[in-house]
Structure 1
Amino acid sequence: MQYKANAPEEYISQIPEDRIPYFNKLRETILNNIPKGFEEQMSYGMIGYVVPKSLYPNGYHCDTSLPLPFTNIASQKNFIALYHMGIYANKELLDWFVSEYPKHCKRKLDMGKSCIRFKKAEEIPFDLIAQLMQKITVENWVNLYESAFKKQ
């Protein structure tokens, strides 16, 4: 689901009321743990955390007018989603996350390549998400992105 929003607060005001406390806590967890340099903004119809053009002027290779995306959160039809490009690009990080997840949540991990789906908002492993956010700095992400995705 995409919501028409120009700011994170506007996005949150449109999601189902019962999800708002969990969504706010997820957003707060990210903001309190993501390394310095990433910026929060609306990105692809979701709340995004990006490397701003001031730090990485080349932008995103799919559309160089856009800043480099890193993480997004969204309220989808049946779940809250966390999209984390570091997990997609770094097998060691993916393996770490997959092995740590059962220590933080009894529910089976439901994820795609970069999307982690939380069907029960009350079971979001906020401590694990905090740790995940701390794992990659802006510099780490730019280097990983350039080696994994950007065509030379």
Structure 2
Amino acid sequence: MQSTAKTINDYLNELPEERKIAFSKLRESILKTIPKGFEEQMSYGMLGYVVPHSIYPNGYHCTPKLPLPFMNLASQKNFIALYHMGIYLNPKLLEWFTTEYPKHSTQKLDMGKGCIRFKKFDQIPFDLIGELAGKMTVDNWINCYETQIKNRKSK
């Protein structure tokens, strides 16, 4: 469910009332801890946390005009979603997160490859998500991303 909002404020204003508090808290958790260099912007109809072209001129390999994506936060039809590319590409980070999650929430982890879904807004582990957002620096993410791209090209 992509939004057509052009700005972050427009996106936040169009959120359903019952999601605004939880969504804003998630966003604050991310902004408090995400390492310097990542930028928040609209990306793919969601809030995006990206490596700007000023740091990584190559951009995203699929669409080089776009900055390198790292995380997205979205209000989907039935849940709030956090898309984290680091979890998708870094097995150690995924293991850390899946081990820590039960210590922070009584809700069963609902997760795809890089997507974490929150259906019960009062059960979101805001501190854990903040910690997750701070686990990879821009340089860590670029190195992880480039390693994956090189490995795909060599196959």
Q: TM-score per shorter chain, which class? A: over 0.9
Percent sequence identity over aligned pairs: 66
In 2, the alpha carbon distance for the partners of 1:75 and 1:137 equals 25
In 1, the alpha carbon distance for the partners of 2:72 and 2:149 equals 18
Q: In the TM superposition, what are the counterparts of 1:72-87 in structure 2 within 5 Å?
A: 72-87=72-87
SS at match of 2:40: strand
RMSD: 0.9
Q: Which runs of 5+ in 1 are unaligned?
A: none
1:93 corresponding residue in structure 2: 93
For normalisation by structure 1, the TM-score amounts to 0.97
Q: Are residue 52 (structure 1) and residue 49 (structure 2) matched?
A: no
Aligned residues: 152
SS at match of 1:42: strand
Deviation of 1:149 (Å): 3.0
In 2, the alpha carbon distance for the partners of 1:121 and 1:149 equals 35
2:21 corresponding residue in structure 1: 21
Q: Which runs of 5+ in 2 are unaligned?
A: none
- Comparing 142-151 with 47-56, greater Cα deviation is found at 142-151
The letter for the 2-side match of 1:26 is L
1:39 corresponding residue in structure 2: 39
2:144 corresponding residue in structure 1: 144
For normalisation by structure 2, the TM-score amounts to 0.96
SS at match of 2:112: coil
SS at match of 1:149: helix
